[in-house]
Amino acid sequence: MKKIMSVLWAMLILLCAAFPAFGAQTPAVFAEDVLLTPGSEATIPVLIEDNAGLMGFKITVEYPVGKIKITSVTKGEVTGKGNFNTNFGIHDGKFDVLWNHVEEVQSDGTLFVLTARAVADFTDPAEIKLTFSQGDTFNEAYEDVVLNCRNIQVGLSAAGASSPESGAPEGGSQNQISYRNEDVVAVVQETLRAYGYDSMQEVRQDERDAFLNQVNAQLSVISGGTYAPVDNYESLVSLYNSAYEGVFISDVTQEIPGNEIQQAIQDALDRVGAATLQDLPEDKRQDFVVILEDNLNQHSGNVAQISKEIGTDEAIEIAQKLSGALQSAPTQAPDENGENEQTGKIWILVAALAVVAAGAVCVIVFFVKKKKDKAPRGENRENA
């Protein structure tokens, strides 16, 4: 009896222990509770935990404008590489944080940092809501990643008698606001057309300061003054190249299937006589970019003119990142039942638990009944 019960309990314990493994696979996005002090700002790191792999996400942040004001949003160490964007400052009380990269990040830590201050007295805790967009949150295999987003509780300290509006400039920490890729690309290309150029490399040295000032002025207008000016022309070139890369990769991968992108890259390589992107001869690099652009346009007429709008080296770097990301994705066709795979596994465990539990009950009932059946005969023998 003891041996049988021991085996049954061991089976139950092992099966029950499997359940937490499923819960641990869901990354948590959260921040510690915050206590604001009137007249001062507080930083709020938004963290990710149990990150099994993330290559892109879109998280929406909502907050009560009557109680608090978020004055800036900056990238964290987890999103330090890749394209980090936000439409912060356009609408009060709500904005999106978007990030993507060409390779997966599996580390835990800070996704982004909010800076907030109180704009009114309040006694009940305020709440900053975090939600994610499933269609924009994925891993290196372009599979959906589910995020367990937890809301942030914000309280107000009773210390300090100064006005909540004092001690912080109305614009907040503007030099920390991240630029949206789409804004940068649109403004730079509009300015290039106004100056009669196709790319930033063509802008004459004596025109670059004026070009930079015009771009800064336009960015300030479309952002309502939340974008800080770009310091110099070289920084603007770097910012534009990064923004262009993010927009191009996003547009191409959304409009053209991965196998067709790879085919377009391989065909361009074959036509210039190169085995790989790393083997491209110097005198064939521009030809490769032009052929790749034509190949991609055969699949979608909306592909940007990378042969003219950015430098050849930058265009080839984009091709390398596209190729690398697509090669890391699985080649097999997706399982139509894949989205129910985890649910199926859980139900299998539930069924197994039920069977074992039923078996345990039956064994227990059998031995209890057997013991009861023996009891009267024992008692009769004693009475005899």
Question: Distance of CA 120 to CAs 166, 270, 341, Å?
Answer: 11, 65, 48
Nearest-angstrom CA–CA distance, 21 and 18: 6
Nearest-angstrom CA–CA distance, 72 and 175: 9
Closest CA to 246 of 315, 306, 182: 182
* Helix/strand/coil (H/E/C) assignment for every residue in 354-384: HHHHHHHHHHHHHHHHHHHHHHHHHHHHHHC
Which of 9-18, 80-89, 220-229, 292-301 comes out lowest in average pLDDT?
Answer: 9-18
* pLDDT of res. 308: 82
* pLDDT of res. 325: 56
**Which band of pLDDT confidence, cut at 50, 70 and 90, is reported for residue 6?**
low
Question: Distance of CA 196 to CAs 42, 130, 193, Å?
Answer: 46, 44, 5
**Which band of pLDDT confidence, cut at 50, 70 and 90, is reported for residue 112?**
very high
* 254 has a pLDDT exceeding 80: no
**Which band of pLDDT confidence, cut at 50, 70 and 90, is reported for residue 354?**
very low
Nearest-angstrom CA–CA distance, 131 and 29: 9
Cβ neighbours of residue 155 closer than 8 Å, sequence gap 6 or more? 33, 34, 35, 36, 125, 126
Residue with the bigger pLDDT between 90 and 380: it is 90
For range 24-32, the mean pLDDT: 84
Write down the pTM of the prediction: 0.45
Q: What angle do CA 188, 192, 193 make, to 5 degrees?
A: 120
Nearest-angstrom CA–CA distance, 134 and 374: 63
**Which band of pLDDT confidence, cut at 50, 70 and 90, is reported for residue 160?**
very low
Kindly write down the DSSP assignment for every residue of 218-241, as one continuous string.
HHHHHHTT-SPPP-SHHHHHHHHH
For range 141-158, the mean pLDDT: 89
CB–CB of 5/363 below 8 Å?
Answer: yes
* 53 has a pLDDT exceeding 80: yes
The residue extents of the domains of the chain are 1-27+340-384, 31-176, 181-328
For range 267-295, the mean pLDDT: 91
CA 239 to chain centre: 20
For range 78-105, the mean pLDDT: 88
For range 70-84, the mean pLDDT: 88
Q: What percent of the chain has pLDDT over 90?
A: 32
Which of 96-100, 269-273, 281-285, 364-368 comes out lowest in average pLDDT?
Answer: 364-368
Encoded amino acid at 336, one letter: E
* pLDDT of res. 273: 93
* 295 has a pLDDT exceeding 80: yes
* pLDDT of res. 352: 44
In the chain, where do the E strands start and end? 28-30, 34-36, 42-49, 54-62, 68-75, 83-86, 94-105, 109-118, 126-132, 148-149, 152-156
**Which band of pLDDT confidence, cut at 50, 70 and 90, is reported for residue 54?**
very high
The position carrying tokens 């942030």 is 152
For range 263-290, the mean pLDDT: 91
Cβ neighbours of residue 309 closer than 8 Å, sequence gap 6 or more? 189, 198, 199, 244
For range 346-354, the mean pLDDT: 44
Terminal Cα distance for the chain, rounded: 30
Nearest-angstrom CA–CA distance, 38 and 278: 57
CATH architecture assigned to 31-176 = Sandwich (2.60)
* Burial classification of residue 207, based on how many CB atoms lie within 10 Å of its CB (0-12 exposed, 13-18 middle, 19 or more buried): middle
CA 9 to chain centre: 42
pLDDT digit string, tens, across residues 177-194: 456 778 888 999 999 999
* 244 has a pLDDT exceeding 90: no
Q: Phi and psi (nearest 5°) for 54?
A: -145, 130
**Which band of pLDDT confidence, cut at 50, 70 and 90, is reported for residue 312?**
confident
Radius of gyration of the chain (CA): 30
